[in-house]
Amino acid sequence: MFTQSVRLGRIIGIPVGVNYSWFVIFALITLTLGGQFAYVYPEWASSVHYIAGIITSLLFFLSVLLHELGHSFAAKQKGINVRAITLFIFGGVAQITREPDRPMTEFYIAIMGPVVSIALAGIFWALALVFQPVSEVVVAITQWLARINFILVVFNMIPGFPLDGGRVFRAIVWFYVDSYERATKIASGVGQAVAYMFILGGIFLIVGGYWINGLWIAFIGWFLLTAAQQVSQYVTLKGALRGIKSRDVMQTDCPRVDSRTTVSALIDEHLFRTARRAFLVIENDALAGLVTLHQIKQLPRDSWHQTTLGDIMTPMSDLHWVYPETEITEVLDIMNAEDVNQVPVLRDGKLEGIIGRDHLLQVMQARLDIGV
């Protein structure tokens, strides 16, 4: 979801990173907190104000990370893998590899983040009470963290998709209407209504002279509106593909090249002539792997003449493939979950075709255009 990010490591096997936008909000929160502490506690040394601001900001984003780990742990418990957790300007997001298949699974995953946050609010408040007679700095930090975690719970439980409250709302609607697609469209509609309320509220504050707060609230509303609309469009697109099998849209004229072919030769003799974005690699008359335009673009140009396709291909053992009878909606889920643009179609270990994301999108658009 957020390609411009810095990898921090892994927690319970899940890659964790921070989007570059996180550094902006981290700096803003640190400066704001430093100013607040200076106003409320003028007797502190000026350096303490901003050291406390840095510590508080770091603990706040640790709280956000733990919130997302709550979602992630719940997802893994239900057999759903988590591709990554990314912290960004609006908080954090846990990227699960597939949507839940039951309403109660959706509810459990969605509610576990707020449960972690409310627990953190209680822990920080308890720490503030314990350190009351010991350290004013620790009390100031923990009280702020207790309040912000509680506010995080309240905000996240607003029934605006894709907030946690929106997902809880979708789970409840899903349970009663017994349709994931219908529940998602209802939750997305409510989410868009909530987003418009944020935008209008932000405009009202701007008109009233509260420029910073108004812009921030309107920006959050715009973000929620965009996310809710994308979810609704995705469900509509998947609906347009319902009933289609992989064999119905796969391309059988897949370009095949020898593994000993250099990247330079592939570009000159195949890529420029066919404009294809993926090529099947053959080794000893057998299918060995796949090379994509994305892999080629990552290579330095001065290595094109020495590098063979066998050196850079994705081997068959690492490819995500499907059967000809696989529903195309499942193929789309695989592409999104694994972040791949081509999926081979195999039967009994033999290649029958390949499905590319660009071709799949053309099929989806054509069906939407004619109203199928």
pLDDT digits (tens, 9 = 90+) for 222-278: 988 988 888 888 787 777 777 889 998 888 887 888 989 999 999 888 888 777 778
Position 12 scores a pLDDT of 84
Rounded-to-integer distance, Cα 287 and Cα 315, Å: 9
Amino acid at 110: A
Nearest one of 44, 204, 203, 236 to 135, comparing CA atoms: 44
Amino acid at 219: F
Position 90 scores a pLDDT of 66
**What are the structure tokens assigned to 127, written together?**
């720490």
Rounded-to-integer distance, Cα 371 and Cα 226, Å: 24
Rounded-to-integer distance, Cα 224 and Cα 160, Å: 8
User: Which segments of 20-178 are extended strands (E)?
Assistant: 82-88, 91-96
Position 4 scores a pLDDT of 62
Confidence of residue 2 (pLDDT cuts 50, 70, 90): very low
Q: What is the DSSP string of 356-369?
A: EHHHHHHHHHHHHH
State the average pLDDT over residues 293-314.
Answer: 89
Give the angle subtended at the CA of 221 by the CAs of 218 and 226, to the nearest 5°: 130
The DSSP 8-state label assigned to residue 111 in this structure reads: H
Position 371 scores a pLDDT of 60
Q: Which of 48-62, 150-164, 231-245 has the highest mean pLDDT?
A: 48-62
Rounded-to-integer distance, Cα 288 and Cα 278, Å: 14
State the average pLDDT over residues 152-161.
Answer: 89
Residue limits of CATH 3.10.580.10 in the chain: 246-369
Rounded-to-integer distance, Cα 347 and Cα 113, Å: 41
**What are the structure tokens assigned to 53, written together?**
């601001």
Q: Are 315 and 291 in contact (CB under 8 A)?
A: no
Rounded-to-integer distance, Cα 355 and Cα 254, Å: 10
Q: Are 309 and 261 in contact (CB under 8 A)?
A: yes
Q: With DSSP H G I counted as helix, E B as strand and the rest as coil, what are the percentages for the chain, rounded to 5? A: 60, 15, 20
Confidence of residue 76 (pLDDT cuts 50, 70, 90): very high
Does domain 246-369 fall under CATH 3.40.1080.10? My reply is: no
Amino acid at 12: I
| Residue 83 backbone phi and psi in degrees, to 5 | -70, -40
Q: Are 4 and 20 in contact (CB under 8 A)?
A: yes
Amino acid at 274: T
H or E element at residue 291: strand 286-292
Calculate the average pLDDT of the chain.
87
Nearest one of 94, 83, 62, 63 to 164, comparing CA atoms: 94
- Neighbour tally for 200: CB within 10 Å: 13
Residue 50, burial from CB neighbour count under 10 angstroms (0-12, 13-18, 19+): middle
